[in-house]
Each structure stands twice: as structure tokens, then as C-alpha cells.
């Protein structure tokens, strides 16, 4: 293997926690990665010495991020199941619609990373968080943070044969943002970003008698937050956008009820290669609408996603592509 193909990231779902399936990997168009084997260091300091005299390796694990442009491909589909474990597929032909939901059995993965001369294997990997961003004149970007067992194997490069998606990633002109159930997208959004955090507990994935994780790190509270930047102060809603007056009212502003309250779509729903993030209850925070010199005035609004009792979820993700089987 030569050229750029000696750098890659592949992922596959595990049937049994921490066991490498050894086949079935899908590879992503990853910009960079920071996955590494790491460990805690224990230290012993007793009353007879003025400094640490003894130490040992503590808990061993792996952690890191991958950053990539958004593609409605098998790599993203697999990564999504680490946060939304149930994938329901509909459609009688391509494009098929994959709906990823929060309920279901948590999943673990084996991750391969090709680094020039060696291929590194990380098993028992859990997805801990995901960040999504879209800005004018940029590709839509995704960052996924993961944690797992200690690095398990080191092989010569060339053990895997990665194949990559030939489609162009989704970008800012593919993005549409819908507010409060409105069927027409807003043309006032300049940028949007949001984070989905599972708050996984690595300490409670360990047990006596083993230096690394013995089970999938359990997630605690799911937290979802984000920021929307409008290209002007919204005093009058055009397509159900939150207005400055609503945002600064005594009770603040919440979009709630049955159905989607914030929809962030990348791609045309009538075609393949679409990724849509649906939020079912949104609480907005106070806006930032200050001026600086003669710069164009904008309005930045943080938000959090809440659990919707009417819909029994916080959010889901819908992806359309040519894949007929569930991820």
C-alpha cells in the first residue's frame, strides 16, 4: 500500500464487547484523528520520604476524536448508531431512509487507524459525543469523540484495503433550518452548531482484576446543546424564527408540543445523500445582539434540547442513501 492509502480510519460494530470482528470494516473520509492509548499513573508517597517513591500504571484505555466533512455514507451511518442505536429502514428502493433513534441496545465498535507504517486496533470503543457544524462557505463538519479499551493490536500497514466514498461532502448550500414545525426553511441562519454528549462513565466500565474496560462505558445523562447565528437581529419572524422580543421576554422562549420543533437538514429530501437532525423540544437562551464598530450586526442564540413527553424522545437523525440494510 502506498500514497495516501496508508492513512485511514475504519470502524465495525462488535457482536461481543471488546472482540474484534476482523472483517466488515467501513472506512471514512476522515480529515484527522487523535485516538490514542493512554493510562492513569498511580503514585505512592509515604511519611518517610519527601517525594513520590513508587508508582504503577493505573487504568488503561483509549480515547480520542475523528473530524470529517459530512457524507451520507456507511461510515457516518455506523458512527451514528453509537449515539442512536436503533436504525429503522424504509423504502422499496434507493434511496432508502434510515431513521436513527435514541432507544435500543447500546453498541460497541472496533476501530482501525492506519498511521503510515503501522495499523492500530482499538476494541470496545463507545461513541461518547458528536459535534455538528455548518457555516457559510464551508463544508458541513462532524466531530465524533470516542472511548474504549486499551489498544489491542499493532499490525503492518496494508492489513486493510480501505475504499472511500466518491461523492462530494454536504456543504453550506445543502443546509436548511426549519423552526417550530414550519414547512419552509429560514433564510436568516448564518451558521449553526450543536453537540450531543452521552457523558459516558469510564470508571464504571472497569472491574477489579483487569487494567482496562471490562464492559461498555455506560452513558449517564444525554445532553444536547447548540448555537444558532442569524444574519440580522430577528425582530419579525419570516419562517417562525425566534424573535428578539420572544427571547428576552420574562419566561424566555421554548418550542414544544408534538412534532419536530427544530429541523436541520443537509441535502434535498427528494434525492439520495441526505442527513437530517430533528429536535423535538427546544429551550432558547438569551440572545447576543451587540454591535462592534461598523461590522454587520448579527444575533447569536444558544439553545438546549429537552426530552419531549409528547414524542418520547429528544431527537432523532434521518439519513437517505443507497444502503438497503440497517446499520
Mean pLDDT of the chain: 94
Q: What angle do CA 188, 192, 194 make, to 5 degrees?
A: 150
Q: Compute the average pLDDT of residues 133-162.
A: 91
pLDDT tens digits, one per residue of 256-291: 999 999 999 999 887 789 999 999 999 999 999 988
- Give the pLDDT of residue 2: 44
- Give the pLDDT of residue 175: 96
Closest CA to 148 of 205, 197, 222, 207: 205
What does the buried/exposed string (b/e) look like for 55-75 if buried means 16 or more CB atoms within 10 Å of the residue's CB? Answer: eeeebbbbbbbbebbbbbbbb
On the question of pLDDT at 215 being above 90, the answer is yes
On the question of pLDDT at 3 being above 60, the answer is no
C-alpha distances (whole Å) from 233 to each of 17, 127, 226, 253, 294 are 50, 37, 18, 16, 15
pLDDT tens digits, one per residue of 91-123: 999 999 999 999 999 999 999 999 988 999 999
pTM over the 0.85 mark: yes
Amino acid at each position: 500500500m502506498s500514497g495516501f492509502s496508508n492513512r485511514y480510519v475504519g470502524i465495525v460494530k462488535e457482536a461481543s464487547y471488546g472482540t474484534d470482528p476482523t472483517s466488515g470494516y467501513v472506512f471514512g473520509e476522515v480529515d484527522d484523528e487523535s485516538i490514542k492509548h493512554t493510562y492513569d499513573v498511580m503514585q505512592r508517597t509515604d511519611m518517610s520520604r519527601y517525594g513520590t517513591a513508587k508508582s504503577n500504571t493505573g487504568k488503561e484505555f483509549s480515547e480520542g476524536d475523528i473530524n470529517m466533512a459530512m457524507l451520507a455514507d456507511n461510515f457516518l451511518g455506523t458512527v451514528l448508531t453509537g449515539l442512536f442505536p436503533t436504525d429503522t429502514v424504509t423504502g422499496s428502493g434507493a434511496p432508502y431512509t434510515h431513521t436513527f433513534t435514541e432507544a435500543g441496545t447500546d453498541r460497541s465498535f472496533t476501530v482501525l487507524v492506519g498511521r503510515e507504517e503501522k495499523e492500530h486496533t482499538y476494541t470496545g470503543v463507545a461513541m461518547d459525543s458528536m459535534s455538528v457544524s455548518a457555516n457559510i462557505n464551508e463544508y458541513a463538519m462532524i466531530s465524533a469523540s470516542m472511548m474504549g479499551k486499551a489498544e489491542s493490536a499493532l499490525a503492518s500497514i496494508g492489513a486493510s484495503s480501505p475504499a472511500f466514498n466518491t461523492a462530494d461532502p454536504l456543504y453550506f448550500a445543502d443546509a436548511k433550518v426549519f423552526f417550530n414545525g414550519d414547512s419552509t426553511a429560514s433564510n436568516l441562519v448564518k451558521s449553526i452548531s450543536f453537540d450531543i454528549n452521552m457523558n459516558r462513565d469510564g470508571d464504571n466500565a472497569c472491574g477489579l482484576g483487569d487494567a482496562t474496560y471490562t464492559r461498555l462505558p455506560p452513558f449517564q445523562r444525554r445532553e444536547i446543546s447548540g448555537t444558532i447565528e442569524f444574519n440580522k437581529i430577528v425582530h419579525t419572524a419570516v419562517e417562525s424564527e425566534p424573535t428578539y422580543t420572544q427571547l428576552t421576554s420574562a419566561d424566555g422562549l421554548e418550542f414544544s408540543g408534538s412534532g419536530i420543533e427544530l429541523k436541520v437538514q443537509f441535502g434535498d429530501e427528494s434525492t439520495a445523500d441526505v442527513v437530517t437532525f430533528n429536535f423535538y423540544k427546544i429551550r432558547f437562551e438569551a440572545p447576543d445582539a451587540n454591535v462592534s464598530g461598523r461590522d454587520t450586526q448579527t444575533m447569536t442564540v444558544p439553545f438546549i434540547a429537552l426530552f419531549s413527553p409528547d414524542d418520547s424522545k429528544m431527537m432523532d437523525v434521518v439519513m437517505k442513501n443507497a444502503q438497503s440494510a440497517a446499520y
